[in-house]
């Protein structure tokens, strides 16, 4: 595989700091659905490669760097860049979908250019580097969710921190500083597996879904604090109230 996926036009007016390290799921759905339907036997592994690769190519478009170098710039690691280049490049080349991939990434790039307020994801990563959810907040996000009493009492509190960090930074949860610290102790794989069960998994419409919605609202407040460069303070009471109000409104709308 060559060092760059394609020649970069250097024409897009956004910076590498404004590239999310892992393409957000809604962007992926908006711009990559057609490509995915053309990819034979597509799996979740392919989705991950496409989302990683899209972010790396976005970074390449504005830097001209190789994918391993872009991966370093996005703080996902040189090895991840090399692996994604080879694995995704092989899948796309075998199925002649390279041009479709670059067209989809161009659409995302145009979306970024058109954004009135672009997010500085590098700043978010810096602000969140030492953040974790306190035990009190962990307990309070479970308020009025009696079916999750066992999870509240026994689950690893770090899972919520990893999910929120990923939502704020738009990065894969294995890149979270909490997970990175565990690599030397051999617990990182188990921690990421347990996080995956709640992060982007289908959690239905019950109390696990409600918990996930609360964590998303928690992340929204933290993201705003990062972007405004104010202290990383969150009101769990407001989050629980907003999620409960939204649920009740939805129930009234759909009897």
pLDDT tens profile 229-253: 999 999 999 999 999 998 887 766 6
- Whether residue 5 lies inside any domain: the answer is no
Q: What pLDDT does 253 receive? A: 60
Q: What is the pLDDT of residues 86-141, one digit of tens each?
A: 999 999 999 999 999 999 999 999 999 999 899 999 999 999 999 999 999 999 99
Q: Which whole-number Å values give the CA distances from 8 to 83, 100, 192, in the listed order?
A: 20, 16, 34
Q: In a 10 Å sphere around its CB, with 0-12 CB exposed, 13-18 middle and 19+ buried, how is residue 11 labelled?
A: exposed
User: 10 lies in a domain?
Assistant: no
pLDDT at 243: 96
Tally of CB atoms within 10 A around 149: 11
pTM, rounded to two decimals = 0.91
Report how far residue 111's alpha carbon sits from residue 220's, in angstroms, rounded to the nearest whole number.
Answer: 21
Is the residue at 229 inside a domain?
Answer: yes
Q: What is the rounded average pLDDT for all residues in the chain?
A: 91
Is there a domain that residue 4 lies in? no
Residue 8 lies in a domain: no
CB of 6 closer than 8 Å to CB of 103 = no
Q: Are residues 154 and 33 in the same domain?
A: no
151 and 242, same domain (yes or no)? yes
For residue 255, pLDDT beyond 70 = no
pLDDT(9) > 60: no
Q: Which helix (H) or strand (E) holds 248?
A: helix 236-253
Non-local CB neighbours of 139 within 8 Å, separated by 6+ positions: 152
* Average pLDDT of the residues in 54-74: 95
Residue numbers of the domain that contains 48 = 16-114
Say if residue 220 is in the same domain as residue 165: yes
C-alpha 82: how far from its chain's center?
20
Any idea what DSSP says for residue 105? H
Residue 6 pLDDT: 52
pLDDT at 3: 42
pLDDT of 190 over the 50 cut: yes
């Amino acid at each position: 595989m060559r060092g760059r996926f394609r020649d970069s036009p250097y024409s897009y007016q956004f910076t590498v700091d404004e590239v999310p390290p892992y393409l957000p799921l809604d962007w992926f759905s908006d711009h990559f659905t057609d490509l995915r339907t053309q990819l034979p036997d597509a799996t979740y592994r392919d989705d991950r490669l496409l989302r990683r690769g899209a972010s790396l190519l976005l970074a390449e478009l504005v830097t001209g760097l190789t994918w391993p170098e872009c991966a370093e710039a996005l703080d996902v690691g040189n090895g991840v860049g090399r692996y994604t280049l080879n694995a995704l490049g092989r899948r796309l080349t075998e199925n002649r979908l390279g041009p479709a991939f670059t067209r989809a990434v161009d659409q995302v790039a145009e979306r970024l250019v058109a954004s009135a307020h672009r997010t500085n994801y590098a700043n978010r990563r810096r602000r969140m580097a030492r953040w974790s959810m306190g035990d009190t907040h962990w307990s309070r996000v479970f308020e009025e969710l009696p079916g999750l009493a066992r999870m509240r009492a026994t689950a690893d509190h770090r899972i919520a921190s990893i999910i929120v960090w990923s939502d704020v930074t738009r990065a894969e949860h294995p890149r979270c500083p909490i997970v990175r610290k565990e690599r030397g102790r051999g617990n990182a794989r188990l921690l990421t597996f347990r996080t995956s069960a709640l992060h982007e998994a289908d959690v239905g419409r019950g109390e696990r879904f409600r918990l996930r919605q609360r964590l998303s609202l928690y992340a929204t407040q933290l993201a705003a604090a990062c972007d405004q460069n104010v202290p990383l303070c969150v009101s769990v009471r407001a989050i629980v109230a907003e999620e409960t109000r939204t649920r009740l409104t939805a129930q009234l709308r759909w009897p």
